Structure 1
């Protein structure tokens, strides 16, 4: 154990060498040193069942041996070239992606991160339409590059105060509002969309949206929402970009969350789970739209042999282990368990929402500052009981459950028991 410096020394080094914007969970954070499928271990060999998966990244589990084996083989064979040279892994991955993407989305451009994927998708929309403007949903999160941050409505992630001067982005209400029915909130959003299109449609290139908003509190739009959005956009020649960075690859009980709505976006972006921890991302589109991206472009590391082989191993594992179906079935178990807790603690858990293994439990929705404080208490107690869960929401008062898709029903049962004990002990 002497090889590990421990949490206190890590915090000291972070304070000395990191930017002050870097934060962490927990009053007494553990030093995480090992991962094994749905489990994490600290420097004192304490085991934690992971219900956050690095914010939906390790969908196939930490250090998944089937995936790691193929990554290691590629590392020993050919680690890096760029797309200016011919290699097989990235074209094989592009072909494999075309098999799982919605509808006739077929062409993929590989990059390194979700921010870069969204940036590329927005550029593609401008190139294809010849128009400049964009529409985004309030409280969405799309990245930390300048353009993607401009599209981000979640105020805590709009880091640059100069963003307010960017007039190329118009925000509309998301299809959710506390105190409104889902249908009322959807109609409010659609009416705002139509108004923007009527006024500015001639200069709008695309609308970007998360099919399920993640960091904004796991907000699931009503069933018909995106079909109506797509129909309105098509009337004005405006593209729909589905941001599947957090929701893609089985997380919501479908391969992509937009599949839940029976809608094919014009462009789709993906990252996180695609590499299961190895940086790889992409934006994909149809033959027709891809043809507009014909000026020279490349990504130095995007689609390198190691990331491409890893991503193919991820797709193979998702298929062979039926993780999409598993997410749907175990998500029902987890969501029902949380709803049962909401019945037992109605004054604390005000709403449970989500799809598949992407579920949020909002605490004290009418008093969000109290809810945010309680979320931090819950996270601390659950960590001490051996469970890692997340938090999100506009006011940071939502418990986030986004475990690796290899989680078991026994893991879920144990977590729910620990959560009930925690709620009972800190709310009495």
Structure 2
């Protein structure tokens, strides 16, 4: 059995960690770790880093090297990375082509700011905007997703002359003082006056956990097990009902035709890989535009081919936004983000001076160009579709096998697995049990994230270079851990 080989490799020698070369690992050998000891790192962390910076796992990992879909800790132990630095490492850790592009640029020019022209930002702007449909042809470079969403808020309010903005319950759009208002997770909110000023959180059209929705309501190869009242698969009854709730917010909570924008992730990321009911975003965009607003698509996690079928997640909703924000995978881990919009909307920034010191600097632009080249030349969007579809189908088999899995969802390599106490209520699995399962999966060599309001959704968003072999490895481990969990009635 494949799993028995994995276990043997993991635990055969107490002082030696053997590689996973039999199941897809390359011949890469990580450099010897020469930094502070593990204990010294813990001391520095406690004394000099803010206490809100929490590390994953009971005994945090000390990662010091990475190669493509693999990470290595200070002892040399290797892990299959299925979270990609929180959906950020898009094409692979230390990808040689990205590394080479950065090395070549760093020898020429680090930084000037855009008070002078330099070639890379212009080359990159042309290449990036060529990936967009319609009139989305103007880009403003920033450094993070929160910055990008901050700028999108500003653009929408200046351009429309309106103030009120809509976002969804369960959404995550950042943690700056303004984007915190867009984010609708109590676990991510501070008691700050004015954070919600002009922000309205509308009902989330979630087919699994929402009031309406079921087995015909999301655009995915894997549907929820929940029964659906839709009689015609081409028309989603849940969408009609959620749309009515959106109408009511506009009718009762806002001044007439005073909407600046609707913010929407194509698939909610931090919220637990939540997909909306079919057709909802397109209908919502039409309603918002009728009321004077814009559609802003947050592609921070869903962009750059991750969902497989399309390069951008919004294309899955058959709609062209007015503004698109992006970060994370855009730079494969390099600090880079962007806002793309139309020339007409972009002109509104001329009303005052607006400047970002580091946005689109030579290093960031060189990395951004290389990332786009790698995605195209190595066909990583196609790989996301192929490997992601396979992964979803294998996870669905585990859902059929283990009652603790309430839902499997997603598209491409943006996948969520929701753990529940029971399927009658779909109540979230207790955090104690979630953490036990999560820890054991890590111990056996696979790293995954967690999300959702209760932290009970496993977030699987790996570098897009992973293989079918890697998926088989992960499934074997998930199967083993879940079997031991259910056999032991919650004790692993």
Bin for the TM-score computed over the shorter chain: over 0.9
Contact 1:175 1:189 in 2 (8 A): yes
Matched, 1:91 2:148: no
Alpha-carbon deviation of 1:132?
1.1
- Larger deviation: 286-295 or 362-371? 362-371
- Larger deviation: 406-415 or 320-329? 320-329
Contact 1:56 1:251 in 2 (8 A): no
1:207 aligned counterpart, secondary structure: strand
Aligned length: 426
Alpha-carbon deviation of 1:221?
1.1
Contact 1:375 1:391 in 2 (8 A): no
1:406 aligned counterpart, secondary structure: coil
TM-score by length of 2: 0.84
Tell me what 2:380 maps to.
Answer: 323
Call closer, same or farther: CA 1:73–1:138 in 2, change over 3 Å.
same
Tell me what 1:197 maps to.
Answer: 250
Contact 1:174 1:186 in 2 (8 A): no
Tell me what 2:327 maps to.
Answer: 271
TM-score by length of 1: 0.96
Distance in 1 between the 2:120 and 2:205 partners?
40
Alpha-carbon deviation of 1:288?
1.3
Tell me what 1:10 maps to.
Answer: 41
Tell me what 1:172 maps to.
Answer: 202
| Max Rg structure | 2
Distance in 1 between the 2:33 and 2:243 partners?
59
Mapping 1:152-191, distance limit 5 Å:
152-163=183-194, 166-176=196-206, 177-178=209-210, 180-181=212-213, 182=217, 183=236, 185-191=238-244
**Which blocks of at least 5 consecutive residues in structure 2 are unaligned?**
1-31, 218-235, 488-492
1:292 aligned counterpart, secondary structure: helix
Distance in 1 between the 2:399 and 2:71 partners?
28
Tell me what 2:314 maps to.
Answer: 258
Alpha-carbon deviation of 1:21?
1.3
Mapping 1:386-397, distance limit 5 Å:
386-397=445-456
Matched, 1:412 2:471: yes
Q: What is the CA deviation profile of residues 125-145 of structure 1, one whole-angstrom value per residue up to 9, with x for unaligned ones?
A: 011011111111011011111
Distance in 2 between the 1:410 and 1:336 partners?
15
Q: Which has the higher helix share?
A: 1
Alpha-carbon deviation of 1:382?
1.3
Contact 2:80 2:447 in 1 (8 A): yes
Distance in 2 between the 1:110 and 1:326 partners?
28
Contact 2:262 2:285 in 1 (8 A): no
Contact 1:172 1:189 in 2 (8 A): no
1:170 aligned counterpart, secondary structure: strand
Call closer, same or farther: CA 1:396–1:184 in 2, change over 3 Å.
farther
Tell me what 1:27 maps to.
Answer: 58
**Which blocks of at least 5 consecutive residues in structure 1 are unaligned?**
none
Distance in 2 between the 1:160 and 1:106 partners?
38
Mapping 1:80-229, distance limit 5 Å:
80-163=111-194, 166-176=196-206, 177-178=209-210, 180-181=212-213, 182=217, 183=236, 185-199=238-252, 200=254, 201-229=256-284
Matched, 1:70 2:70: no
Contact 1:390 1:400 in 2 (8 A): yes
Alpha-carbon deviation of 1:179?
6.1
Distance in 1 between the 2:430 and 2:378 partners?
37
Contact 1:7 1:30 in 2 (8 A): no
1:249 aligned counterpart, secondary structure: coil
RMSD of aligned alpha carbons: 1.6
Call closer, same or farther: CA 1:179–1:127 in 2, change over 3 Å.
closer
